[in-house]
Amino acid sequence: MTPSEYCQNKTAASGSSFYYSFLFLPAKKRRAITALYAFCREIDDVTDEIKDPNIVRIKLEWWRNDVSKIYNGQPEHLVNQELQQVIQDFDLKEDLLHEMINGMQMDVDNTRYPNFDSLEQYCYRVAGVVGLLSIEIFGYSNQQTQQYARLLGNALQLTNIIRDIYEDALRQRIYIPEDELKRFNITQSQIYTSKLNSEEDQKNFKELIQFQCKRAKDYYKKALAALPAEDRYPQSTGIIMAAIYEATLDEIIADDFQVLKHRIKLTPIRKLWIAWRTYRKEKKRYKQYNKSC
């Protein structure tokens, strides 16, 4: 199997919403973003699939060393071999790849976040950094687009956190800040056991998730507001990601915030439809923008 084939298989097999947003890219950029996403999946799998934290640390250190070999030698992993060409084509920075691994390290060292400031650092490392790398592949001309990438990364990661509360609890992880749990009178034990025994508990939990959803919604608004008009069409892939993830958030809201009972998922056909509809809308907007210039 070639490095390119491995990355394509890794991305397609994940079933991620990101896969659908890549479909409208030119071949070279699609191959590049697929390699970057495969890298994200590989390091994320280390923390999700290995239970022994010491082994996770060893694995992440191996990934740090192999990332350095992308820039200073010959990497061993097929994903990193594929990334070598991507880095040459799009000048991806080594420190950002290492920062992503630092984000995975936070999953080993922290199972709680005392406040949103600490959680926001995690969101930046595991998602905002991905946004900063992605815009280099998609292309941009205005430096303000970097702020859009950071904000969108936060929005996407906050959506993940809300969607995955039940599954994260099974792994003894809670990403909702501790001070916010306290503010809404929800205990860690209630999250871990998925037990809200009284109407008051159910009301408190619903208000807690409403608060989380509003913050994520605000980040989507701030991200798109920060995206300069001249870079909007080149960044269509990110806008498609935002549309799919925000649709997931809307489904959570429509489901009355029952994230402690099950995980909300969009069907593949709906993701494809959202991706196609959003791309057509952005293409039309781009044509209108060119006419006005």
Whole-number pLDDT of residue 79: 96
What are the DSSP calls for 125-181, one per residue? IIIIHHHHHHHHHH--S-THHHHHHHHHHHHHHHHHHHHTHHHHHHTT---S-HHHH
44 lies in the same domain as 131:
no
d(CA 18, CA 169): 24
* Residue that finishes a domain, picked among 82, 109, 136: 109
Domain encompassing residue 173: 111-285
Could you tell me the two tokens for 117? 């400031």
202 lies in the same domain as 270:
yes
* Residue that finishes a domain, picked among 74, 109, 144: 109
178 within some domain: yes
The total number of structural domains that make up the chain:
2
d(CA 208, CA 229): 35
292 within some domain: no
- Stated pTM of the model: 0.93
104 lies in the same domain as 161:
no
Q: Using an 8 Å Cβ cutoff, are 233 and 290 in contact?
A: no
291 within some domain: no
241 within some domain: yes
7 lies in the same domain as 67:
yes
d(CA 95, CA 9): 26
43 lies in the same domain as 127:
no
Whole-number pLDDT of residue 14: 64
Whole-number pLDDT of residue 12: 79
- CATH value at residue 10: 1.10.600.10
Whole-number pLDDT of residue 109: 85
**How would you class 293 by CB atoms within 10 Å of its CB: exposed for 0-12, middle for 13-18, buried for 19 or more?**
exposed
Our measurement of the distance from residue 102's CA atom to the centroid of its chain's CA atoms, rounded to an integer in Å, reads 15
Q: Which residue ranges of the chain lie beneath pLDDT 70?
A: 14-15
